[in-house]
Amino acid sequence: MVLPCSYQSLRIFRNPHVHMVVANQLRYVSGVRYRRTRLETPDGDFLDLDFSCQGFRRIAVIVHGLEGHSHRPYVLGMVRALQRAGWDACAVNLRGCSGEPNRKPWFYHSGMTEDLETVLRHLVRLSRYESVALVGFSLGGNLVLKYLGERGLDLSPCVQAAVTFAVPCDLAGAARKISEPQNRLYLKRFLKMLRQKIEAKARLFPDRLNTDGYEAIRTLEDFDNRYTAPLHGFQDAQDYYARASCKPFLERIAVPTLLINALDDPFLSPSCFAYREALRNPHLILETSDHGSHVGFVDVPHRGALWSERRAVAFLQDPLMP
């Protein structure tokens, strides 16, 4: 289904760049306390999960975006809003994103759904929860949607709904979009953060990685050609984008799922707006707003919760209702 979006931006946030900075750099979220659990993965690596629990019988798994982590404001805000609505929360730090390099030469990427499966198996083993919801932002949203589509009708019955925001459903289109001139400051920041990650990896695996000539990397595609693709078994960046994008999997999603993308998101190409796929799948609801930027959706908060957090809570409380 494709539905109208109820988000109304404040006039000052009609500029998507101002909107993104305020939402992701200037916002402060208090009141969330985590307990960290290190989860061993089947391939001998680890994931650091940050739990915020009050003994509820349902839990939301929250997955951050590119170079994010569990302490980003958008993750903390979602954890706080869900807890107030009666959910425990598990904020996933993808490999290498918890403040400590992971053990393997590779780290995380947009299609690495096996780690999400490992997290869900762990939650099932705990035997504390009657239901699980998935919440994903940006890269994490792509992971969630791809995972749901891959599993289709074989999805664990404990997973009952999902909400995603600012999802680059077509990774190739999104990579081109973020490399456009108006996004050069964001791109420079991402490449700087990724370089720090590669440098840390190179100290551990000098035979596999180095940063020689890193200055020649000008786009995300350059980075993915040099590092992401070879480290994770893809032929090149285009092969990675084709195989890791969630868009081909959307029609197979079989649980109530909400996808919200803003039309003014500086990082999303037109191909990231999955109208056709949503129209073909009654389980997938697509909402597009005129404004909202990338993981933004700032408005006048209600008890500190932004529109995106209130919308996620409302959907997860009753996913059968639009």
Three-state SS sequence of 273-322? CCHHHHHHCCCEEEEEECCCCCCCCCCCCECCECHHHHHHHHHHHCCCCC
Catalytic annotation, pick one of 9, 52, 70, 138 = 138
Rounded CA separation 287/274 (Å): 10
Contact 104, 114 (CB under 8 A): no
89 Cα distance to chain centroid: 15
259 Cα distance to chain centroid: 12
3-state SS assignment for residue 107: coil
Rounded CA separation 47/104 (Å): 12
- What tokens appear for 147 in the block? 């995972």
User: For 160, which DSSP code?
Assistant: E
Q: Are strands 131-137 and 58-63 parallel, antiparallel or unpaired?
A: parallel
- Any catalytic annotation for residue 127? no
Catalytic annotation, pick one of 88, 264, 265, 269 = 265
- Cα separations in angstroms, 305 against 82, 158, 302, 317: 10, 27, 5, 16
- Any catalytic annotation for residue 265? yes
Give the DSSP H/E element, type plus range, for residue 258.
Answer: strand 257-262
Region of residue 172 (phi > 0: left; psi between -120 and 50: alpha; otherwise: beta)? alpha
- Any catalytic annotation for residue 109? no
Catalytic annotation, pick one of 70, 224, 294, 308 = 294
User: For 144, which DSSP code?
Assistant: H
The residues annotated with a catalytic role in the active site are 138, 265, 294
